[in-house]
């Protein structure tokens, strides 16, 4: 799902099986079906998708962007689909974009602007870590081990 913004007329959710990369389900929602509220369209697409698939398909993981309503629906403690034991992951592209935005904001603070010089390198390092891992656990371990090197470079500490 590409984030629709406030002017999108339609939202399409495509469900892909991880191993075969086959399209399993597609649902489209028109903004008129959500009281002309494009922000709600993504939530409605996920609800329709999950309600269609769950009776017939064992869903282990759902990977989305960081949309707060989607995160709420998939919350393992309070969400609508908590009983299904579905793991919710955030896609790596949105994570890298968020990291870049946070570095830019941190660099805007008085006296912290040198971090902006490192922004591209830090984000590239994040991508590198993501390519080294095939599971979320491996990715987290890679970040813990490799991220330390980035911090030393940013602080101009070379061993």
Give me the mean pLDDT over the 108-132 stretch: 86
78-82, 85-89, 106-110, 153-157: range with lowest mean pLDDT? 153-157
**Start-to-end C-alpha separation, the chain:** 44
* H helix intervals, the chain: 38-53, 68-73, 92-107, 119-132, 136-154
pTM over 0.75: no
* Rounded CA separation 73/51 (Å): 12
pLDDT score recorded for residue 1: 44
User: What mean pLDDT comes out for the span 25-39?
Assistant: 88
The ranges assigned to domains in the chain are 10-90, 92-154
User: Whole-angstrom Cα distance, residue 96 to residue 122?
Assistant: 10
Q: What is the pLDDT of residues 50-97, one digit of tens each?
A: 999 999 989 988 988 878 888 899 999 999 999 999 999 888 888 898
Tokens matching residue 15 = 């469900």
Give φ, ψ of 135 to 5 degrees: -135, 165
Residue 2 has pLDDT above 50, yes or no: no
């Amino acid at each position: 799902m590409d984030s629709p913004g406030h002017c999108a007329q339609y939202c399409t959710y495509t469900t892909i099986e991880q191993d075969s990369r086959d399209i399993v389900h597609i649902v489209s929602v028109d903004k008129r079906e959500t009281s002309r509220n494009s922000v709600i369209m993504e939530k409605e697409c996920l609800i329709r998708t999950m309600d269609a698939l769950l009776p017939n398909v064992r869903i282990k993981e759902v990977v989305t962007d960081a949309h707060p309503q989607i995160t709420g629906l998939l919350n393992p403690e309070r969400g609508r689909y908590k009983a299904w034991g579905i793991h919710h992951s955030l896609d790596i592209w949105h994570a890298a974009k968020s990291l870049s935005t946070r570095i830019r904001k941190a660099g805007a603070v008085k006296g912290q602007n040198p971090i902006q010089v490192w922004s591209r390198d830090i984000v590239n390092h994040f991508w590198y870590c993501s390519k080294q891992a095939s599971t979320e656990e491996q990715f987290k371990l890679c970040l813990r081990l490799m991220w330390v090197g980035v911090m030393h470079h940013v602080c101009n500490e070379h061993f």
